[in-house]
A and B are shown apart, each in its own frame.
Chain A
Amino acid sequence: MRLEEQVLEKLSHYKDNWPMLKNNLRIRERREKIILEVSSELLREVRRIKEESIENLEQNIERVRKALEGRGAELKIARDGAEASRMVLEICKQYGVKLVVKSKSLTTEEIELNKVLESENIEVIETDLGERIVQLAGQKPSHILGPAFHMTRDEVAEVFTKYYGRPIPPDPQQMVLEVRKEFREKYQRAGMAITGANFIIAESGAMVLVTNEGNDRLALAFAPIHIVIAGVEKIVSSTRDVLKILKILPRNATGQRLSSYVSFHLPNMTAYPREAKLSPRRTIYILIDNGRMEARQDREIKEILYCIRCASCLQVCPPYNLVGGHVFGYIYSGPMGIPWTMIAHGLEKTYFSQLCNTCGLCREACPLDINLPYINSTVKERYGKRFGYPSLNKSLKRYERLITLASRAPNLSNKLLNSSSARKVMEKFIGIDSRRPLPRLSEKNLGEIFTELGLPEKGNIVLYTDLLIYYMYPDWAVKAAKILSSLGYRIIIPSLKSCGMPLIQYGFMDDARRIAGYNVEYLYNLIEQGYTVVSLEPTAQECLTNYYPKLLASEKSRIVAENSYGFFEFLKKIGWKEVTKVLKSLGGVHVTYHLPCHSRARDGSIVVKEFLEALGAKVYFKKIGCCGLAGTWGMKKNGHGYDISIEIGRYLVKEYEKLGGEFIVTECSICLLQFQHLSNLPCRHPLQLVQLASIE
């Protein structure tokens, strides 16, 4: 089934009942309460620990080998999944193992070990509850921490009813009890325990496991043979490093200060098998390369090896939360699943990356500050160059040309955009869903209006608006310019190209680089003359500060990033006290504020909320996530974008409409389009709400 068909199937299956989203929202709620306990210094230190671990990987592997040999255990390195599975199978055959209990199974999922063992009639029991559910359902995990997060309790009950051959009620307590009873005996009878490892400590060879259920502990207590299967990147240098990481891993993963069970496990334990005498347990670590060593040399994606598998990126990813990991993933799923799939399973398996809408919430959520949206665009680029870009994306790549063409005859274009037959033609030939309302072109574009207003040719602020404001909402820019003028600044409108986000979004990185190069050169020259860059569109600002420096890796792009501000961020820099002097009060106005994904003030504050509150408005705010439109992504027809975009937005709007504002307010023109399409409430740009005090 094609990706867009899988999307539509999942959307219709889960209609209004989004188990993945609900699970992740619950975790986010817990996480947000305690995440502030972690300092940014600690986060930076953990990032440095992981950087050093990957840098020193070869030496650390040898340190682990030495430590294990000193404790009577063994280290094997498997080049790929097949080799690792063969190693396990050989050990099973050598010791006549018939029953294997598994725990922390993500890496063994990566290498698809169960298939290999089961094909040799070795019974494999996944002991983590979620893993067990998907194992019995004949599915793959859909979430790296909650393998069965995509299932409802009724679906889980059906799985258990079928397995136990008697009715099991859809009551989590009851289902857990059934599994508990069954597994007590399995743990004692198993000939081998296979576990993953959250970390392996180079200096001692200890493996560290972090779980909540305690299944790993019981699996290990009894098994006479223990095989550890982990990626080589799990090695860290010291115990101290692990203790640092443990401060942030459970907090981010599940919103806990510490998971229920953490063990520092040495391989010299005595086993405790039921029918045998106590005997030294045989322990073998199989560390897997499977693309990791190559990724280590890959400048564009290397930092994904710092991933601690906390799944914070999965918690916030809007398309993933609706369709789940079976569609948005291969074995690794969600945002981190895109590069991990490329590394472990090959570029050809990454087509699902088309579902990433480059909202960037994953980067914001990542405690290690891994630039996932950029990495994922790089994967899309590599896929496109090797196997061909999706035709819809190729057609939308021309968005700037299409808009400028339409703007030459705005009245005619607007008529066409209102005609259903013209929209059908657009859907067929360009791929924009005919159900998606498009904004009307302004009769005059911003450049023309500015010329008529006679605003100065020289000044100290470059007001960068991007395409939509330039051609469709020039009034907002005029208002912004007047506010800045009344605060004493002189504004110019630059002849820049559009920010290029759709190109980045679809992985046309060479084209994006060209645009970035042009814009950076242009702005750099102005900055040299003393200008400050102020962007009116959050996405334009995100390009200037995040994507251009990555795309160009140049000093000029860094300087442009440093000297660019979002419009409201810049107002905050001036000071709310000064700003409120030139604007009329919004006292008595109640608004619900939506934070666009690309609005990121340097100080982490929610500046538009502060702005509106400074003017006296009552602001209702709930941080849920992306509006779902994400530029042209949510305009793409059917399962390619529109349908999933609508479902993401519908959920958000439903929540927003409960909050109590008279308007939905947001500073992103794209988010506004989505809300205008989906909400019964009026939707406004903040600049549409405010008035200059001097204009009575």
Chain B
Amino acid sequence: MGFDILKLFINRLEDLGAKTYICHSVEDLLQHINDLIKEVKTQILITGSETEYKKQLIERLKENNQNIKVITVDSATPVYDAELSIGFPELALANTGTVIYRASSGIEEASIYFPEIHISIISKNKILHDIEDLESYVDVFLRRGESLYFITGPSSTADIEGEIVKGVHGPRKFYVFVIEW
């Protein structure tokens, strides 16, 4: 997993209209997220795989944002009006600028796609080069009964006169933070 893959991943995402940040510490990550959640008035949804920095991040977000509910979506709490969600994907693909989530319930799906803004946080060592490198991974998830969701840039359409419009049904804004520490 070298420098080139990260560079490719970032370039592809930027080309797709996603904002990217490379973070070197939890502090760094938190600072970037704080900038993005300033406008959030209701609640923040957290979804995706369990990692050490996920736990730390949730704690810090709760401490710092007493007025906002920070909800992990493995509960059955209604979360219909969330403006922002933060996800921890299982894998990413550099050459396509893709993040990949697993989910086993509609609540997890909705938390990725329903809010206006979605932030994906992924560790650099989870970035694969391209789709063929997934061969050995996809079936592992499917056998466990987990579906996989690939996201490549913001939701978009070109249905009216071919003009590309971002944010049709899924998130209108899409951020990817790569953890490199």
Interface of A toward B, CB cutoff 8 Å: 19, 22-23, 26-27, 71, 127-130, 133, 146-149, 151-153, 156, 172-173, 175-176, 179-180, 183-184, 188, 201, 203-204, 206, 212-215, 217-218, 220-223, 239-240, 243-244, 246-247, 254, 256-266, 268-272, 274, 277-278, 281
Contacts and interface: CB of A to CB of B under 8 A. Distances in A.
A261 B168 contact: no
Interface stretch (B37-45, B51-59, B60-68, B104-112): B104-112
13 contacts: A22-B162, A179-B168, A217-B149, A221-B106, A221-B109, A221-B114, A240-B135, A257-B12, A264-B142, A264-B148, A269-B109, A278-B105, A278-B106
Contacts of B78: 274
A176 B168 contact: yes
B21 interface: no
A215 B154 CA distance: 13
Contact of A243 (B138, B142, B160, B170): B138
Contacts of B80: 188, 274
Contact of A239 (B107, B109, B135, B168): B135
A270 B76 CA distance: 11
Contact of A260 (B142, B146, B162, B170): B170
Which range holds the interface residue count of chain B?
35 or more
Nearest to B172: A180
A359 B166 CA distance: 36
Given A27-B162, A213-B170, A261-B155, A218 B139 contact: no
Contacts of A129: 157, 159-160, 168
A258 B106 contact: no
A180 B113 CA distance: 12
Nearest to B153: A260
B149 A272 contact: no
Nearest to A240: B135
B138 A214 contact: no
A85 to B, nearest CB: 26
B153 A19 contact: no
A180 B142 contact: no
Contact of A247 (B107, B131, B153): B131
Interface core residue of B97, B163, B168 (most chain A CB under 10 Å): B168
Contact of B143 (A149, A172, A204, A244): A204
A260 B152 contact: yes
A388 B46 CA distance: 65
A261 B105 CA distance: 17
Given A129-B168, A180-B168, 18 more contacts: A129-B160, A213-B170, A217-B169, A218-B113, A220-B109, A221-B106, A221-B107, A239-B135, A243-B135, A247-B132, A257-B12, A258-B98, A258-B152, A260-B152, A260-B155, A260-B156, A261-B152, A263-B147
Given A180-B169, A266-B142, A260 B104 contact: no
A123 B73 CA distance: 31
Given A148-B159, A262-B152, A176 B134 contact: no
Given A23-B161, A152-B161, A263-B149, A258 B131 contact: yes
Given A183-B169, A217-B113, A270 B159 contact: no
B151 A260 contact: yes
A222 B153 CA distance: 23
Contacts of A172: 160-161, 163, 165
A254 B16 CA distance: 14
B158 interface: yes
B165 to A, nearest CB: 5
B170 A218 contact: yes
B79 to A, nearest CB: 9
A223 B105 CA distance: 11
Contacts of A184: 114
B167 A176 contact: yes
A41 B165 CA distance: 35
Contact of B165 (A148, A173, A203, A217): A173
Contacts of B138: 239, 243, 264
A256 B39 CA distance: 32
Contacts of A133: 159-160
Contacts of A258: 93, 96-98, 131, 150, 152
Interface core residue of B80, B110, B162 (most chain A CB under 10 Å): B162
Contact of B105 (A19, A149, A240, A270): A270
B72 interface: no
B152 A222 contact: no
Contacts of A222: 106, 110
Contacts of B171: 214
B94 to A, nearest CB: 11
A26 B104 contact: no
A183 B167 CA distance: 13
B151 A278 contact: no
B84 to A, nearest CB: 15
B147 A212 contact: no
